[in-house]
A and B are shown apart, each in its own frame.
Chain A
């Protein structure tokens, strides 16, 4: 996506300052794991250099045919994961509202019963032999991604005496600059567990939390097959470099 006027060298601009008030603070004692893992010193801020403005790129040819189909990508031939079939789709955008094409999106989740396929997982919900819980996509030229999966279950976790995670899908997203890297979680519209989740509530801004809740999208539902949820993700925006004539570093 070009941000340059014709005949000007394309220089990737520096990033808008991150609005930390919309993110969780490092230290959030309601989420107990953060207590010993939160830096206590302030971050050292500086305008991003080439080291932050650049980032890795991944080719479309890296993606396997089933990478974005969690219903079958771990299943035995002819079988499928158990659960409510859903399509999750959306657009990766930046704060300038420009689509971010050709970037890697990775996602992972518990199975329909709320159990992860992981050696540290001990929840008594059953393991689904046909569900791995991992998938990935690279956004198309308009920044879109989509995948098929089963709706994850809610699960209890050791934090408070009786804390539960709402149904959620974890996302890892790359932008075009290393400091656009983002890991977040998607929640499902209408879930009463969202409001009482200690991890959701590490974010103090209620409006910001809404950005993590995917609405039911009946317009993209596949009739007689799967309902759709739409989850757009916004990465940090870059400043324009229209007026920068001097190629940086030369």
Chain B
């Protein structure tokens, strides 16, 4: 008789369904008066340190149609590459930047985050990863939330050394993870399926 290891099993995922807005952005779907403002709507304030950028893009399905009923969440480090999180062991995160945002797509499948450009975060073995944000997409028809990362087109040198992009590179799909920077706007389309399908992650 050996000892027992009492691990539990993760609860299975189920689709967020067509009415995900009710639970995640109630004011957006006219359920007003319960909470003052939808969570994750504003990411930055006057006191937030860092370079202001807008991250925007469309979520498209396998037929190229906009996924206009999805919700996108973003998670990123502050301007110095530190996460504002209880699970972050380094101190000194910008207290005026939570690093998390949530945006329902509009009728054209477009999401938009007004945020700051994140600094570099240490990766495996402490070597820096290129600046990136993590994104998580849920919707009707998505059975389990989809995780991806957006890197920046103006960081070619850092991207070339990034350990996660290095894993993607042999597939020839690295470009699907690079947001295109023009001025203060970074455009990042997310294709759920099809020839230019975005790389989704399991980490």
Contacts and interface: CB of A to CB of B under 8 A. Distances in A.
A226 interface: no
A182 B8 contact: no
B17 interface: yes
A61 B67 CA distance: 34
Interface in B11-67: 11-24, 26, 29-31, 33-35, 39, 61-63, 65, 67
Nearest to A10: B89
B85 A95 contact: no
B168 to A, nearest CB: 6
A12 B89 contact: yes
A153 B119 CA distance: 48
Interface string B158-182: 0000011001100101000000000
Q: A22, A134, A212 — which one has the most chain B CB atoms within 10 A of its CB?
A: A134
Nearest to B33: A74
Contacts of A172: 16, 23-24
Nearest to B128: A249
Interface stretch (A36-44, A79-87, A142-150, A215-223): A36-44
Given A96-B7, A116-B22, A51 B14 contact: no
A39 B121 CA distance: 28
Contacts of B9: 19, 22, 95, 208, 211, 234
B156 interface: no
Interface string A119-132: 11100000000001
Contacts of B13: 23-24, 182-184
Contacts of A106: 23-24
Q: B23, B136, B168 — which one has the most chain A CB atoms within 10 A of its CB?
A: B23
B92 interface: no
A41 B202 CA distance: 12
B29 A119 contact: yes
Interface string A23-56: 1111010010111111111011111111111111
A66 B173 CA distance: 47
Interface string B116-150: 00000111101001001010101111111111010
A220 to B, nearest CB: 20
A194 B202 CA distance: 29
A185 B19 contact: no
A43 B200 CA distance: 5
Contacts of B31: 74, 117, 132-134
A96 to B, nearest CB: 7
A11 B89 contact: yes
Interface in A89-129: 93-97, 102, 104, 106-108, 116-121
B157 interface: no
Nearest to B88: A54
B142 A67 contact: no
A242 to B, nearest CB: 14
Given A116-B19, A116-B22, A250-B126, A50 B12 contact: no
A249 B123 CA distance: 7
Contacts of B30: 117, 119
B158 to A, nearest CB: 14
Nearest to A233: B11
| A-B pairs with lowest CB-CB distance, top 10 | A249-B122, A108-B23, A33-B141, A56-B100, A37-B141, A54-B85, A12-B87, A43-B202, A24-B143, A54-B83
Given A23-B13, A67-B34, 13 more contacts: A31-B15, A36-B65, A37-B139, A39-B146, A40-B62, A49-B124, A50-B122, A51-B129, A104-B39, A185-B17, A236-B10, A237-B8, A250-B122
